[in-house]
Chain A
Amino acid sequence: MRVSPYLWCGSALLVALVLSLTLGSEPFPLEDIGRTLLRGFGLLESSPETETDDKIFFGLRLPGSVLMLLVGAALGGSGAAYQGLLRNPLADPYLIGVAPGAALGLVTALSVFRALPVSPEITTLAASLPVAAFLGAILTVFVVYRIARVDSSAPVTTLILAGVAIGAFATALTWFLMLQTEYNSNRIVLFMLGGYSQGGWPPVLTALPYIGAGLIIIILLARPLNVLQFGEEQALQMGLPVERVKLVLILAASLAAAASVAVAGIIGFVGLVVPHVIRIIWGPDYRRLIPLATLTGATTLLVADTITRAVASVRVLPVGIVTALMGVPFFIYLLRREKRSYW
């Protein structure tokens, strides 16, 4: 009996979620989680001792894990979408400018705040930074798309080239601004290494609509993505409104990726490696690939984040580093094992 891939990925996600909630710098035993949840639903009595535990769980642990789940899903799904629409195995959610744009937005906002005669309240600062990052990301993608557009079409190769070029430009500007001021460079570096968030529910609630909308659109466009793989000419002849599909896909994937970066920093490798892993194991049909990549992206990030938090008191280990250390060897292993060409 073949086990459905959805069952595999779904169970993996569940296990990862449980691990994420129970482990961390301080273990939170499974039974305690159960009791905490029951207390949350009012089915069990709470007392002063349990109050702290409950606050920690509902206020920090749970939203933290949910955020990683959401961001991982966004990265996995948008990574797969980009690889499909650009028809390039090296594509990841940041290729056409989301990451460099977000970093630039963040640094610009910080520089502006620094230049103001009166320093703004730190809470205003903290609230506005994700917005700045998001806007930076979206604006950059917009610029890339406009540059790549010739007449009414945006050739894929041009998109990639423009993305890389604008990305490099944005990165150069970012470094320049960063070096101008030592102020808050710590914050910027943390952002670029990924996994840094404000904690609590606000980031989750902020990112959810964009990530949710983006992923739903991508899933709905799975079939057109399959058709696109034949090549744009072919797809056009088969009746697909190619440019429109591309535009919508770029929009959806960028929204999800930009929201992720805005609330959790730049986390690499998940969007690149996860879709390939799914492809190697379960084939390139996007109707399956997208949902599975979404699920597995969430699983991967949850695991990476758990590791990060477990060692946090000993080592500063940003999530982005863990994803690279985890993802790359596994991916190479799969590549070598797979004799046939899977792309």
Chain B
Amino acid sequence: MDVTIDIDDPVPQFQQLIEQIKAAVAAGALKAGDALPPIRQLANDLELNSKTVAKAYKLLERDSIIETKGYRGTFVHPDAQANCEVDLQDWTLSKLTQTVAELREAGVTDSEIRNAFTAAIGRRPSAK
């Protein structure tokens, strides 16, 4: 299974990597438990900064597409195929759209929503 990165593509390189790994998982080319190359190997082969590959791996791990097992390396997550169908970015956008619509209905102005959003995102989550 090969991945190709196009540096002329406006899509960020880490995003291209994420999309191709997700596509490989969805198509069954990468199965649950399959080993993935270390960050350094992939960065060297693709002539990318290792931070770019690390970012892609971190986001894939957050989405439970891959999992890191310490010194043993990175593997495809057991539920990767199901998790590929969940797009966190889409879900976040729909949630925000819904909230913004409710706020507008309540008479809150766009400027107030923007200020509240900035304040909310800057606020640390309260410790439970």
Answer whether A and B are interacting partners. Answer: no
